[in-house]
Chain A
Amino acid sequence: MSTTIKDVTCPFCGLHCDDLMVAMDGDTARVVARGCDRAVSGFAQSGADPRARVQGLPVTLDQAVKHAARVLKRSHQPLIAGMATDASGCRAALALAEKTGAAVDHMHGHAVISNALVVQRRGWIMTTLTELRNRADLVLLLGTDGDSVNPRFTERCLQPRPTMGRKPRRSRQVAVIGAAALGRSLKRQISSATSITCRPNDLPEMLSVLRATLSGQAIPLPRKGPHAGRMPALKKLAARLRSAHYAVVAWAPGQLASELADIVIEGACELVADLNRFTRAAGLSLGGSDGAITALNVCAWQTGYPLRVNFAGGAPEYNPSRNACEALLERREADALLWISTLHPLPPPQRRRIPTIILAPPSRRLAALAEVFIPVAIPGLDAAGTMFRLDNVVGLPLRAVRGTTLPGAADVLNQIRGCI
């Protein structure tokens, strides 16, 4: 017999849609309404083979926990990374990091920190999804089409007509600056969308020309080369931004060219600041998936810093480049890794074999990789919890729609801490 549950929150991307309908048939969950493909496959993950393993061999949970504690105790510089879990998982991971002197980063640490660096340099003016949906009469996407990072973004936030502007019922204009493919996919969702094509590395230049045009300065693009012919479109866009009542400039930090991400974000924030001199405008950062915003928030309130902290010296020490997961592994500074990936069994970045403890949904592949593998509940499917949405304000309740015998990540992490 199958039962249907309404208004289920989806944990599988930073949009955290909470309107899904999920049918339960025994132990199988199936999204029957309003889920995107990512949600459908996320909820369809099986909970089979719920056994913990040490060096590939099945053990009891207790044995796995004790072994994990030994690995961490022996380590001089543990690294707790991945951090794809809910708020309770993050709280427990930070408590364990503090106890073991570990460094902490998220699997999307680069995206989170690209934003944080800009905030810490210059601050920003931002908005949230309900504001965007109801108030924004112009949305400019930078280097993203929205849906490739948050699949229902255009459906939920751009397709409805804005209703609360100074001129309600005025239709919304949508524009994108970025690779040609982005413009094409955006137009499939919003037929009236316009696009200005450029290579990802040229976004900073496009933004500065746009800002200059907006402020009436003439710094034209070179007539030759890759941007030839972009000037009229940029001028038109500047004019539309100028006359918009509430423009939103959106980016997805994880989709920007890695070494330029903070520069593009800074440019976007400057553009928004320029607009706010005479009209209203705000930024929005898309993405925020795999619990990135949840980890950022919990880490900030518990330590004062947005991830990439290291407890090796006792008090949390924040260093966004030095404490990056990849950097710690590359420099061979970390000598044990605790990898938390509770939404999907994603593998850790493995530069070199160091003892690795993995907390993830059941997965033979990961079990074979790890010194200690502990299968855990998927928050929002197997376990209740809280995750924060990409706009960094709204916390959504996750439900346990499926019964499970698997422990939650927080429970396992607290048990490990108890053995140290």
Chain B
Amino acid sequence: MLTRLANGTIIDPAHGVNAVQRDIFIEDGRIVRAPAAMRKIDREYDLSGNIVMAGALDIHTHIGGGKVNIARVLLPEDHEQDPVAPSAGRRGGSGRAVPSTFVTGYRYAEMGYTACFEPAMLPANTRQAHLEMADIPIVDAGAYVLMGNDDFLLQLMSDGAPQALITDYVAWTMRATQALAVKVVNPGGINAFKFNQRKLDLDERHAVYDVTPRSILRALCTAVHDLGIPHPLHVHGCNLGVPGNDATTLDTITAADGLRMHLTHLQFHAYGKEGDRKFSSGAARIAERINAAQNISLDVGQIMFGRTVTASGDTMLQFRGAKHAHPKKTVTMDIECDAGCGVVPFNYRSRNFVNALQWCVGLELFLLINDPWRIFLTTDHPNGAPFTCYPHLIRLLMDREYRLEMLSGLHPAARQHSILASLTREYSLYEIAILTRAAPARSLGLGDRGHLGVGAAADVVVYRKRRNMEEMFSSPRLVFKDGKPVVQDGRIIDTPAGTVHRVAPEFDPAIARRLQRYFDRYHTVRLGNFRLGDDELLSYGRAGLSTHSCLPV
């Protein structure tokens, strides 16, 4: 079937196309060349006056796996506020801060998102993560596997194992878990917490293993680099949320030593300790440094005011943050000599100094970092806010007047501590398309997503022009997923299954023998059963597996 999207105004930063009126043709789920004049067009949409972009990608959203499901169980009162009844062709569930799986897929698609990436899949929890994501309809998915706190790696490093062995282990783990990238959370800290170490700075030694967060970062960054994984090591650094962690972040950038590194939810890692309240914004210092460091990319993890829940692998810091829980209940888990998780419900309040300043820090980062190709739009869903607030966030970035209006409602001391009022930058639609489409797709190595060139998957979003960007981005006129119309005028009309994106790096099979000995001795799962195979993953109900190429050095 040949479809023509006629007369739309195309914004496609991957090809430098900025608001050019032209037709797009779709056949067999792909964008194709303009056909010969005599070919019959089966379906035509007149998009005169509409904006056309590729489907949006969320590079960091906790949508599947253990800690998200724990957060669901923890908070029935949250779901009760937003019950979702099934309707023709649509499943029900519940929404709000941690929506159920079906609702997650629908709400993402309704905003024009066509791919979402779970950034913290524990190897031990691989099956659950992938099974949950298989119940998220429409959008594609992929997962970053959590490493850097597993006793196997820390033992290897303690024993002075060569980098090549560590690199093989990273590759083996990615294959075994069907991952797209590698994430590290509080390097070594989750493990150290199991040994009752309550704090671990970048250069602090682990209580038992001969490692530091810096040495772990270094080993994993090198592995990802050597394997040629498209996405750089995805780093949730030390000291999340701790005043003064801006210094840790600057040191972490230095620790990358020129290798590529992605700093995630940077807002939570950009706090100074200046001023009378010993809490200040470190955004300016960090932005200045990142503007000069081409090897660094980041996502912001913007917070929004209201109730949400924070779900993180960072047991050490989440345990410490439990005293701020609202309501007063938290879950902490030590997991399988592999990692852990901490779930803390939270209420961000605009009249609270710290929360208000967190909001400012995130926006400062957005506005001070110059290169839209290295910064991605996230709230670290649900940690900073549920993903459903993205249209609101886009408006804050594009509309200074609105931003100032919101700012004026904040805790007065926070306003004084922030330079936000003085920042005049307004994002353009073209830049928003970079942040939400072209840049994340490029960073993840998804060659056929995030753009509208010939050969791309036909994930296409059509917006009606509006003055209010929040309205425009909340409710696209049309969304196509792999060429199928899935959303029309803000309503779901079809719910195809998504694809899993992954990489398949090569490794020396000798690592498997070493792992076999480790598993035999320590583990409660057999090595062969630990691995999630292709057939098993497909049997969860996936449209397919899309393997992206690695370019080993």
Instruction: Please measure, in the bound complex, the distance between the C-alpha atom of A122 and the C-alpha atom of B78, giving whole angstroms.
Output: 15
Q: In the complex, which residues 114-141 of chain B have their Cβ closer than 8 Å to any Cβ of chain A? A: 122, 124-128, 131-132, 135
Asked whether B135 lies within 8 Å of A126 as measured between CB atoms, the reply is no
Q: In the complex, which residues 373-420 of chain A have their Cβ closer than 8 Å to any Cβ of chain B? A: 384, 386, 388, 392-397
**B526 at the binding interface (Cβ < 8 Å):** yes
Given the known interface contacts A98-B86, A130-B523, A280-B194, the answer about A300 and B72 at a Cβ–Cβ threshold of 8 Å is yes
Asked whether A388 lies within 8 Å of B128 as measured between CB atoms, the reply is yes
Contacts of B334 in A (CB 8 A): 126-128, 131, 135, 280, 282
Asked whether A315 lies within 8 Å of B100 as measured between CB atoms, the reply is no
Instruction: Please measure, in the bound complex, the distance between the C-alpha atom of A300 and the C-alpha atom of B72, giving whole angstroms.
Output: 6
Asked whether A128 lies within 8 Å of B331 as measured between CB atoms, the reply is no
Q: In the complex, which residues 133-150 of chain A have their Cβ closer than 8 Å to any Cβ of chain B? A: 133-135
Q: Among A59-67, A156-164, A355-363, which stretch is in contact with chain B?
A: A156-164
Of A116, A125, A302, which contacts B91 at CB under 8 A?
Answer: A302
Given the known interface contacts A276-B319, A297-B69, A300-B73, the answer about A130 and B84 at a Cβ–Cβ threshold of 8 Å is no
Q: A1-38 interface mask toward B, CB cutoff 8 Å, 1 = contact, 0 = none?
A: 00000010100000000110000000000000000000
Asked whether A166 lies within 8 Å of B195 as measured between CB atoms, the reply is yes
Asked whether B84 lies within 8 Å of A302 as measured between CB atoms, the reply is no
Of A9, A130, A317, which contacts B337 at CB under 8 A?
Answer: A130
Given the known interface contacts A304-B94, A314-B86, the answer about A393 and B79 at a Cβ–Cβ threshold of 8 Å is no
Asked whether A301 lies within 8 Å of B333 as measured between CB atoms, the reply is no
Given the known interface contacts A157-B524, A166-B195, the answer about A397 and B331 at a Cβ–Cβ threshold of 8 Å is no
Instruction: Please measure, in the bound complex, the distance between the C-alpha atom of A245 and the C-alpha atom of B194, giving whole angstroms.
Output: 9
The closest CB in chain B to the CB of A311 belongs to B92
Of B127, B328, B329, B331, which contacts A395 at CB under 8 A?
Answer: B127
**A352 at the binding interface (Cβ < 8 Å):** no
**A123 at the binding interface (Cβ < 8 Å):** yes
**B546 at the binding interface (Cβ < 8 Å):** no
Asked whether B196 lies within 8 Å of A316 as measured between CB atoms, the reply is no
Asked whether A280 lies within 8 Å of B196 as measured between CB atoms, the reply is yes
**B503 at the binding interface (Cβ < 8 Å):** no
Q: A91-108 interface mask toward B, CB cutoff 8 Å, 1 = contact, 0 = none?
A: 100010011000000000
Contacts of B528 in A (CB 8 A): 7
Instruction: Please measure, in the bound complex, the distance between the C-alpha atom of A128 and the C-alpha atom of B315, giving whole angstroms.
Output: 14
Given the known interface contacts A87-B131, A127-B334, the answer about A316 and B83 at a Cβ–Cβ threshold of 8 Å is yes
Contacts of B532 in A (CB 8 A): 397
Asked whether A164 lies within 8 Å of B151 as measured between CB atoms, the reply is yes
Asked whether B76 lies within 8 Å of A393 as measured between CB atoms, the reply is no
Instruction: Please measure, in the bound complex, the distance between the C-alpha atom of A116 and the C-alpha atom of B98, giving whole angstroms.
Output: 17
Given the known interface contacts A386-B127, A395-B126, the answer about A316 and B92 at a Cβ–Cβ threshold of 8 Å is yes
Contacts of B80 in A (CB 8 A): 318
Instruction: Please measure, in the bound complex, the distance between the C-alpha atom of A300 and the C-alpha atom of B532, giving whole angstroms.
Output: 22
- Cβ distance B108 to chain A, nearest Cβ, rounded Å: 15
Contacts of A314 in B (CB 8 A): 83, 85-86, 92
**A279 at the binding interface (Cβ < 8 Å):** yes
Q: In the complex, which residues 393-446 of chain B have their Cβ closer than 8 Å to any Cβ of chain A? A: none
The closest CB in chain B to the CB of A164 belongs to B151
Asked whether B128 lies within 8 Å of A297 as measured between CB atoms, the reply is yes
Asked whether A119 lies within 8 Å of B92 as measured between CB atoms, the reply is no
Asked whether B208 lies within 8 Å of A397 as measured between CB atoms, the reply is no
Q: B55-84 interface mask toward A, CB cutoff 8 Å, 1 = contact, 0 = none?
A: 000000000101011101111101110011
**B494 at the binding interface (Cβ < 8 Å):** no
Instruction: Please measure, in the bound complex, the distance between the C-alpha atom of A19 and the C-alpha atom of B322, giving whole angstroms.
Output: 38
Q: In the complex, which residues 231-283 of chain A have their Cβ closer than 8 Å to any Cβ of chain B? A: 245-246, 276, 279-280, 282
Instruction: Please measure, in the bound complex, the distance between the C-alpha atom of A125 and the C-alpha atom of B332, giving whole angstroms.
Output: 5
**B336 at the binding interface (Cβ < 8 Å):** yes
Instruction: Please measure, in the bound complex, the distance between the C-alpha atom of A301 and the C-alpha atom of B91, giving whole angstroms.
Output: 12
Asked whether A123 lies within 8 Å of B331 as measured between CB atoms, the reply is yes
Asked whether B333 lies within 8 Å of A304 as measured between CB atoms, the reply is no
The closest CB in chain B to the CB of A248 belongs to B334
Of A121, A301, A311, A397, which contacts B529 at CB under 8 A?
Answer: A397
Instruction: Please measure, in the bound complex, the distance between the C-alpha atom of A244 and the C-alpha atom of B333, giving whole angstroms.
Output: 18
**A120 at the binding interface (Cβ < 8 Å):** yes
**B352 at the binding interface (Cβ < 8 Å):** no
Chain B facing A: main interface SS: mixed
Instruction: Please measure, in the bound complex, the distance between the C-alpha atom of A41 and the C-alpha atom of B166, giving whole angstroms.
Output: 43
Interface residue tally for chain B (C-beta within 8 Å): 68
Asked whether A300 lies within 8 Å of B83 as measured between CB atoms, the reply is no
Contacts of A165 in B (CB 8 A): 195
Contacts of A125 in B (CB 8 A): 331-333
Instruction: Please measure, in the bound complex, the distance between the C-alpha atom of A118 and the C-alpha atom of B528, giving whole angstroms.
Output: 35
Contacts of B122 in A (CB 8 A): 393
Asked whether B333 lies within 8 Å of A128 as measured between CB atoms, the reply is yes
Instruction: Please measure, in the bound complex, the distance between the C-alpha atom of A239 and the C-alpha atom of B330, giving whole angstroms.
Output: 27
Asked whether A131 lies within 8 Å of B335 as measured between CB atoms, the reply is yes
The closest CB in chain A to the CB of B330 belongs to A123
Contacts of B124 in A (CB 8 A): 128, 130, 393-394
**A303 at the binding interface (Cβ < 8 Å):** yes
The closest CB in chain A to the CB of B133 belongs to A301
- Cβ distance B523 to chain A, nearest Cβ, rounded Å: 6
**A129 at the binding interface (Cβ < 8 Å):** yes
Contacts of A384 in B (CB 8 A): 536, 539
Asked whether A302 lies within 8 Å of B93 as measured between CB atoms, the reply is yes
Contacts of B195 in A (CB 8 A): 165-166, 245, 280
Contacts of B332 in A (CB 8 A): 123-126, 282
**A287 at the binding interface (Cβ < 8 Å):** no
Instruction: Please measure, in the bound complex, the distance between the C-alpha atom of A394 and the C-alpha atom of B99, giving whole angstroms.
Output: 22
- Cβ distance A80 to chain B, nearest Cβ, rounded Å: 15
Q: In the complex, which residues 144-199 of chain A have their Cβ closer than 8 Å to any Cβ of chain B? A: 156-157, 163-166
Contacts of A166 in B (CB 8 A): 195-196, 207-208
The closest CB in chain A to the CB of B131 belongs to A87
Asked whether A131 lies within 8 Å of B337 as measured between CB atoms, the reply is yes
Given the known interface contacts A130-B524, A135-B194, A304-B79, the answer about A397 and B127 at a Cβ–Cβ threshold of 8 Å is yes
- Cβ distance B530 to chain A, nearest Cβ, rounded Å: 9
The closest CB in chain A to the CB of B196 belongs to A280
Contacts of B335 in A (CB 8 A): 127-128, 131, 393
Asked whether B529 lies within 8 Å of A9 as measured between CB atoms, the reply is yes
The closest CB in chain B to the CB of A313 belongs to B85
The closest CB in chain A to the CB of B154 belongs to A164
Q: B130-161 interface mask toward A, CB cutoff 8 Å, 1 = contact, 0 = none?
A: 01100100000000000000010000000000
Contacts of B78 in A (CB 8 A): 304
Instruction: Please measure, in the bound complex, the distance between the C-alpha atom of A276 and the C-alpha atom of B334, giving whole angstroms.
Output: 13
Instruction: Please measure, in the bound complex, the distance between the C-alpha atom of A332 and the C-alpha atom of B135, giving whole angstroms.
Output: 33
Q: B322-353 interface mask toward A, CB cutoff 8 Å, 1 = contact, 0 = none?
A: 10010011111111111000010000000000
Instruction: Please measure, in the bound complex, the distance between the C-alpha atom of A298 and the C-alpha atom of B134, giving whole angstroms.
Output: 12
The closest CB in chain A to the CB of B523 belongs to A130
- Cβ distance B316 to chain A, nearest Cβ, rounded Å: 11
Asked whether B91 lies within 8 Å of A95 as measured between CB atoms, the reply is yes
Given the known interface contacts A279-B196, A305-B79, the answer about A18 and B69 at a Cβ–Cβ threshold of 8 Å is no
Asked whether B524 lies within 8 Å of A129 as measured between CB atoms, the reply is yes
Instruction: Please measure, in the bound complex, the distance between the C-alpha atom of A163 and the C-alpha atom of B333, giving whole angstroms.
Output: 20
**A288 at the binding interface (Cβ < 8 Å):** no
**B522 at the binding interface (Cβ < 8 Å):** yes
Contacts of A305 in B (CB 8 A): 72-73, 76, 79, 94
Asked whether A304 lies within 8 Å of B99 as measured between CB atoms, the reply is yes
Interface residues of B (CB under 8 A from A): 64, 66, 68-70, 72-76, 78-80, 83-86, 91-94, 98-102, 122, 124-128, 131-132, 135, 151, 193-196, 207-208, 319, 322, 325, 328-338, 343, 521-526, 528-529, 532, 536, 539
The 8 closest A-B pairs by CB, nearest first: A395-B127, A314-B85, A315-B83, A123-B329, A304-B94, A304-B79, A130-B336, A315-B85
Q: List 11 A-B contacts (CB under 8 A).
A: A116-B73, A119-B74, A123-B332, A128-B336, A130-B338, A130-B523, A166-B207, A246-B194, A280-B334, A301-B72, A314-B86
20 more A-B residue pairs beyond the given contacts A124-B331, A125-B332, with a C-beta to C-beta distance below 8 A: A19-B526, A121-B329, A123-B74, A124-B332, A127-B335, A133-B522, A135-B194, A156-B524, A157-B524, A165-B195, A245-B195, A276-B319, A280-B334, A301-B72, A301-B100, A303-B79, A303-B94, A393-B122, A395-B127, A395-B128
